Amino acid sequence: MNHAFRMKLKPGTVAEYKKRHDEIWPELAKLLTDAGIHDYSIFLDEETLHLFAVLKLREPNQRDLLPQHPLMKKWWDYMKDLMYTHPDGRPIEWPLNNVFHLE
């Protein structure tokens, strides 16, 4: 199953956002994989600073449990100075609906 959503960076944070993801914590990558997430990409619209994320979910998956995991909360705390977030540090996500797919 595919899942896509949009997030937004704060001005002046693109380079740091990329750097932090280039150095993603191995334990976080494992947590995401163990939750059933794979083939995960994030794209940037440099004009609007919108991030477009697309990932695949294995069934069954535990993506819905990630917001309660201490490591996920730690990552969000680490990233919240770069992007627009909820008060708890979780990135604000806007879901994207699939309107076309070509295989």
Query: Per-residue pLDDT tens for 31-89?
Result: 999 999 999 999 999 999 999 999 999 999 999 999 999 999 999 999 999 999 999 99
For CA atoms 68, 75, 8, 45, the dihedral sign is: negative
Stretch 18-23: mean pLDDT, rounded?
A: 98
Q: Which residues contact 29 (CB under 8 A, 6 or more apart)?
A: none
Residue among 3, 21, 38, 86 flagged as catalytic: 21
Stretch 13-34: mean pLDDT, rounded?
A: 98
Q: What is the domain partition of the chain in residue ranges?
A: 2-95
Judge contact between 53 and 41, C-beta under 8 A: yes
d(CA 3, CA 5): 7
Clarify whether 101 is annotated catalytic.
Answer: no
pLDDT the model gives residue 69 = 97
Using the predicted structure, report yes or no on whether residue 103 has a pLDDT greater than 90: no
Using the predicted structure, report yes or no on whether residue 90 has a pLDDT greater than 90: yes
Q: What's the CATH class of domain 2-95? A: alpha beta
